[in-house]
Amino acid sequence: MSARCKWRMRWTGLILALGMLVSCAGPLRQGGTAPPSAGPTEEMAQPSLTLAPTSAPVMDRYQKDRQMMIESQIQGRGVKDEDVLRAMAKVPRHEFVPPEYLHEAYADHPLPIGYGQTISQPYIVAVMTELLRLRSTDKVLEIGTGSGYQAAILAEIVQEVYSVEIIEPLYLQAKERLERLGYKNIHLKCGDGYYGWEEHAPYDAIIVTCAPDHIPQPLVNQLADGGRMVIPVGPPGSYQVLWLVERQGDKIKTERIMGVAFVPLTRKH
């Protein structure tokens, strides 16, 4: 075989070998370098990106709304207590409103919950809670459970919460809701809140979320020494005042906080 034929055969074999190499590596990228092949780790990780759990916390849908509520409605108006801010950022307010008002759950106003009652404006909830100057060891009495939202906020801060609701359907709804959300330190009673819950008195703090036309003496009597009570007082449908009441031994100190509008305290007749 001539030298020329041998030279041609060598070049033909070399070209065929290069062709096989290119076909195995895949198409060349611009610039002449082949893409790195995906190893086993990359191939296994790929499907997991599309298999996000369908039970991703429903609360996350409202996380941005809660954060905006905290920043604009609460911190923006001067509430500074870190425990109050933490509790309000954690408690899912949307769980405490009727389905038809879910889109307004974090809005800057009260919402109806049925039976002529409301869930208070977030800012008012925060202000009243901050005024109590709560500690983790406190025992708190709430008058007017309503939806249970205020009780949940308190339960995130203190040791025990006792709450009284006079409207039985609201009491039952709140009981089911708070149990479902896992609150073990909230105790509910269906009864006339004017008389408090003497069995567990004295209380380090009392919060009243409905307005009597005067400060009930039974509630004052159930305050511990050094205890604090926040209560709206005034006639229904008219101007009411939020008061801070503090017991200092045998003396009762009262401080006018601001004007408010609450549903009236419902009494048994």
DSSP bridge partners of 189: 164
Sketch out the chain's domains with CATH numbers.
60-260 (3.40.50.150)
Give first-to-last CA distance, the chain, whole Å: 123
Check if the beta carbon of residue 146 is closer than 8 Å to that of residue 119: yes
| pLDDT for the residue 169 | 97
What distance in Å separates the CA atoms of residue 161 and residue 156, rounded to the nearest whole number? 10
Instruction: Give the type of residue at 108.
Output: D
Rounded to the nearest integer, the mean pLDDT of the chain is 83
Look at residue 52 in the predicted model and tell me its pLDDT: 34
pLDDT digit string, tens, across residues 203-220:
999 999 999 999 999 999
Read off the tokens for 23: 């076909």
| d(C-alpha 62, C-alpha 51), whole Å | 22
pLDDT > 70 in the chain, percent: 77
Q: Which residues are the active-site residues?
A: 120
Of 205, 206, 196, give the one whose Cα is nearest residue 166: 196
Query: Would strands 139-143 and 240-248 be described as parallel, antiparallel, or unpaired?
Result: unpaired
48-80 pLDDT tens trace: 333 333 334 444 689 999 999 999 999 999 999
How far apart are the C-alpha atoms of 217 and 221, rounded to whole Å? 6
